[in-house]
Amino acid sequence: MHEALQVNCLNHHVLELSFYEYLDYNGPIGDEEPVHELYRYIAYLRYTRWLWHRLGKKTRKVIPSCVVSAIRTRFPSDEYTGFMYLRDY
């Protein structure tokens, strides 16, 4: 894993600072909104900003699965189950 990915997107202290910047810009979050989901969102934002600087509404890029996996592992969702076959559901 790239060292810059670990420092910029997976480091809790770095994301905490970005979290406070997010709150300054967007206002407070509700009590029902899980903080780890917001950290995951901010980690994706920091990754795209690091790699592509700024993306617009009509400019989209695919985040590599290894990065998505690393971010999901670091900030897991309570509801995410991964792929399930219909018979397993």
pLDDT tens string 13-59? 999 999 999 889 888 887 777 788 899 999 999 999 998 888 788 88
Q: What is the pTM of this model?
A: 0.79
CA of 10: how far to CAs of 4, 58, 85, in Å? Answer: 9, 27, 31
Count other Cβ atoms within 10 Å, centred on residue 70: 19
Predicted local distance difference test score (pLDDT) of residue 4: 85
For residue 89, the model assigns a pLDDT of 55
Tell me what the mean pLDDT of segment 56-65 comes to. 87
| Amino acid present at 6 | Q
